[in-house]
């Protein structure tokens, strides 16, 4: 939903698109890496990206969103976007961590003591769990990949279409 709002008000330019694109790609790489490890509520995963932070999928989503905020080329979103992202997702993080604590008890509490909620730079990425393409498929990460590719494609269209820098509403009115 938020992506649609951004696309509707975007004033994307080639420059804003090219600055935002690597940020989106970086975020997608984090999500794919994380999703290939994640066994939702089946076992506590502490390896790979989960050795760096307890919520790497949210970190990946944050970078994707940050790239969109840059591509949008609306300064208000550069400031409000990250704040709103964490306001909306902070509750989800707390809720999910409570579920994990209820399910895995002392193991999860020990994990929390050694791994921060957001990110750190560990000496090792070792722990419980391993990357698997099968797990990536089970987690339906292809949906995020497809949605991201579509959103990036629309931002590219906005940035490189004559009249770029105009909101999509303006472009649609000129086409129709």
The model's pLDDT over 63-108, given as tens digits with 9 standing for 90+, comes to 999 999 999 999 998 899 999 999 999 999 999 999 999 999 999 9
* Closest among 68, 90, 73, 52 to 148, alpha carbons compared: 68
Kindly report the pTM of this predicted structure: 0.85
Say what the pLDDT of residue 176 is: 44
∠ CA(118), CA(112), CA(81), 5° rounding?
A: 20
**In the predicted model, is pLDDT for residue 1 greater than 70?**
no
Say what the pLDDT of residue 32 is: 96
**In the predicted model, is pLDDT for residue 41 greater than 50?**
yes
**In the predicted model, is pLDDT for residue 120 greater than 80?**
no
Say what the pLDDT of residue 163 is: 64
Say what the pLDDT of residue 103 is: 93
Non-local CB neighbours of 107 within 8 Å, separated by 6+ positions = 44
Identify the helix (H) or strand (E) that includes residue 79: helix 75-104
pLDDT category, 132, cuts 50, 70, 90?
A: confident
pLDDT category, 123, cuts 50, 70, 90?
A: low
CA 152 to chain CA mean position, Å: 13
């Amino acid at each position: 939903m938020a992506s649609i709002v951004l696309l509707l008000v975007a004033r994307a330019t080639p420059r804003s698109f090219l600055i935002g694109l690597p940020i989106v790609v970086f975020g997608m790489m984090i999500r794919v890496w994380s999703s290939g490890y994640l066994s939702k509520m089946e076992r506590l995963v502490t390896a790979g990206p989960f050795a760096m932070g307890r919520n790497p999928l949210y970190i990946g989503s944050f970078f994707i969103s940050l790239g969109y905020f840059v591509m949008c080329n609306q300064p208000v979103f550069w400031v409000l976007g990250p704040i709103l992202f964490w306001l909306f997702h902070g509750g989800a993080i707390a809720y999910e961590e409570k579920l994990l604590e209820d399910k895995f008890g002392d193991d999860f509490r020990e994990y929390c003591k050694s791994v921060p909620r957001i990110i750190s730079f560990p000496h090792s990425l070792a722990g419980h769990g391993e990357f698997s393409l099968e797990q990536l498929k089970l987690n339906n990460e292809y949906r995020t990949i497809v949605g991201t590719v579509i959103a990036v494609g629309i931002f590219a269209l906005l940035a490189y279409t004559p009249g770029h820098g105009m909101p999509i509403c303006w472009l649609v009115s000129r086409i129709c």
